[in-house]
Amino acid sequence: MSQNSTPAVLLDLDGTLVDSVFQHVLAWGEALHEAGYDVPLWRIHQGIGMGSDRIVPWLVGGHVDDASELSDAHKRRFLERADTLRPTRGARNLLDDLDTRGVPFLIATSAGAETRAALLDALGRDDLPTADNDDVDSSKPAPDLLLSACAALGVEPQNATLVGDSPWDAEAARRVRVRAIAVRCGGHGEELLLSHGAMSVVADPAELIGRL
């Protein structure tokens, strides 16, 4: 088997390995309200999974001058809740399973450094290989991060599987023929995930042990 046909796994972090989506929703809700934008929480939930550069214009319906202040306020309010973060069901066992079976994998997250550190801390695994999103031009649902992760692993996109919880993960994967498996533990419905390009939907990482 050549290096390029080796299968590999890309793992989203927020909502997929760590139960963090509802905290993100309230953190964005508070940050937006403080800045004078009242956005319904269910709409914020639908936007989680996009990069923070994209979610703000998507939620407020256009360009905003204070996007980076908003993003900072969200980060601060999210990190205040870091003690409530827990791994999703089966997340740690899935990582052990991939290690044991020698399946190459990378964490593919748009989260910034501080948020990523808090998530990995909640997961109890600060040793995980993580795709570098610093040189990525465009965040999910753009596929740039997935392509960069595939390149780092030395796999062709069509041999990679992304596990993610949001419609934006599925959409990013579809654009570059990465297979997307969606987990429901980020709170999205099965139909929504399938309609955005997920090949299959499971409850949480526990259902994927031994199957990736």
Binding residues for a second copy (CB under 8 A): 19, 21-23, 25-26, 29-30, 33, 38, 40-42, 45, 81, 84, 86, 88-89, 184-192, 204
* Minimum CB–partner distance for residue 142 and a second copy (Å): 25
Shortest Å distance, C-beta 207 to a second copy? 13
Q: Which is nearer to a second copy, 22 or 58 (CB)?
A: 22
Q: Of the two residues 103 and 192, which places its CB atom closer to a second copy in the complex?
A: 192
At closest approach, how far in Å is the CB of 127 from a second copy?
23
The continuous run of DSSP H or E covering 106 comes out as strand 105-107
What tokens does 60 get?
Answer: 């407020």
CB 77 within 8 A of CB 27: yes
CB of 135 to a second copy, least distance (A): 33
Structure tokens at 116: 């990523």
Contact 27, 35 (CB under 8 A): no
Please give the span between the terminal C-alpha atoms of the chain, in angstroms, as a whole number. Answer: 18
The residue type found at 150 is C
For a second copy, which is the closer residue by CB, 8 or 122? 122
Q: Which residue has the tokens 């042990």?
A: 209
